Structures are given as structure tokens and as C-alpha cells.
């Protein structure tokens, strides 16, 4: 076993390694099926953020910061917000853009709604994860002093 670099015990780390991918995939599923079944951008985004938080709690903050640091998370959140804003302003251009195509019970058949879901999930998920990261870093900073 390697040196115990932060985080919890070996049992927690092993279980996390098995479950965290499933949680992430479930979050993506909830986002993409938002217009067909209960769920949607908000809940799915929070589940995606929870998978990252799960990783952070089990493995300590250094492992996560290597993959997704604060600036990059905030960038993703901003991209999500801008996508949603662009979609909304496009509604002003065409007269009935928002009420456009309709093919029921298809994954990409509800006009702009899947795109809106993806944008909201990016913004909510990454935003909440960045808040959690900021709190963690704040406490770490306080302990260092």
C-alpha cells in the first residue's frame, strides 16, 4: 500500500473507486432523460457534483485538484450559463423558436430542451462543486496558519 496521502481508509477508497463512475453515469443519464422521465438539469447537475465530492471526501483534496481545480470548474460553470443565455436570446430571433419541433418519446426530439438541460447541469453541478472546493480550501488555509 502506498503512503496514506490524505483521505480515508483503504476500504472507503476501494468502494469509492467502484461506485464513483456509476454515480457520474447516473447523473449524466438523469440530465439527458430530463424531458422524458423525472429528473432534469438541476437534479442531474447536483448528482454530477456529488460524484466529484464523493471522490474528494474519499481521496483527499489533492487527487481531485489535479483533475479539476477551482478555476477550471468556474470556467465550465460559466460556459453552461453562457450556453443557456445564448439559447434564450435565440428565442427572440425566430418568432416561435421556443415551440419548435416535436417528436414525442425521443432522446433528441424536444427542440432546445435537451440542450437547456445540459447547460443547466453544467452550471449547477460545476458551480456547487466549486463552492464546496472553496470551503475546503478555506478551512485548509485556516489550519495551515
What residues line the site for other proteins (CB under 8 A)? Answer: 30, 34-43, 46-47, 49-50, 53, 57, 70, 74, 77-78, 81, 84-85, 88, 91, 98-99, 101-106, 109-113, 116-117, 120, 123-124, 127-128, 130-132, 134-139, 141-142
Closer of 13 and 132 to other proteins (Cβ): 132
Biggest alpha carbon distance in the chain? 63
Whether the CB-CB separation of 35 and 117 falls below 8 Å is answered with yes
Q: Minimum distance from CB of 114 to other proteins (Å)?
A: 9
Write down the least CB distance from residue 1 to other proteins, Å: 27
CA distance 35 to 21: 23
Number of Cβ atoms within 10 Å of the Cβ of 34: 23
Closest to other proteins by CB, 20 vs 50, is 50
List the grid coordinates of 72. 477550471
The CA distance from 124 to 48, in Å, is 9
50 versus 64: smaller Cβ distance to other proteins: 50
Amino acid at each position: 500500500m502506498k503512503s496514506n496521502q490524505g483521505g480515508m481508509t483503504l476500504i472507503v477508497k476501494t468502494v469509492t473507486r467502484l461506485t464513483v463512475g456509476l454515480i457520474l453515469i447516473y447523473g449524466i443519464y438523469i440530465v439527458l432523460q430530463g424531458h422524458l422521465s423525472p429528473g432534469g438539469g438541476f437534479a442531474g447537475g447536483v448528482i454530477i457534483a456529488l460524484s466529484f465530492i464523493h471522490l474528494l471526501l474519499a481521496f483527499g483534496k489533492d487527487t481531485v485538484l489535479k483533475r479539476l481545480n477551482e478555476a477550471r470548474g468556474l470556467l465550465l460553470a460559466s460556459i453552461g450559463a453562457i450556453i443557456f443565455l445564448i439559447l434564450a436570446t435565440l428565442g427572440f430571433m425566430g418568432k416561435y423558436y421556443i415551440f419548435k419541433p416535436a417528436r414525442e418519446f425521443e432522446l433528441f426530439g424536444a427542440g432546445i430542451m435537451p440542450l437547456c438541460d445540459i447547460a443547466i447541469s453544467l452550471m449547477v453541478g460545476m458551480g456547487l462543486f466549486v463552492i464546496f472546493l472553496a470551503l475546503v480550501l478555506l478551512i485548509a488555509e485556516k489550519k495551515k496558519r
